[in-house]
Amino acid sequence: MHIDQVATVPTVETAQGLLEKDTKVHVWGESGHTEIQGLYIRNKLFTTQAHLAFDEGIVKHEIEMRVESEAIQDEKVVSEAKETADFEHDGEVVARSILRFFKGEDDGIP
């Protein structure tokens, strides 16, 4: 599903002044396809590669649209994507983490 992705974890050196010295950047999720599923900086940043609102139907619709537009041409990729569209996921855990972040309740997280 992912056409783009974060390929490297930012560091104080690569962030061009956007990160303070000793800032800890955490990769909170990964998969075989997407090495960096999300980044977290306490009280500053929470990102996710996942589309939390996507269910099996939306994923399959997206696959079909990409096949029709020829963005996906490999039938093996199409077949695997359709087979995994309904896999169990951690959406509720991620949603709770996002809520904690926006409510300012992540102070106790390193």
Per residue in 81-97, pLDDT (tens digit) is: 788 777 777 777 878 88
Average pLDDT, the chain: 83
Q: Would you call 8 helix, strand, or coil by DSSP?
A: coil
pLDDT in tens, 22-73: 999 999 888 777 889 889 998 888 888 877 777 778 888 888 888 899 888 8
The CA distance from 26 to 15, in Å, is: 15
pLDDT at 18: 92
Strands 38-41 and 45-46, by their bridges, are antiparallel
Q: Would you call 102 helix, strand, or coil by DSSP?
A: helix
pLDDT at 1: 54
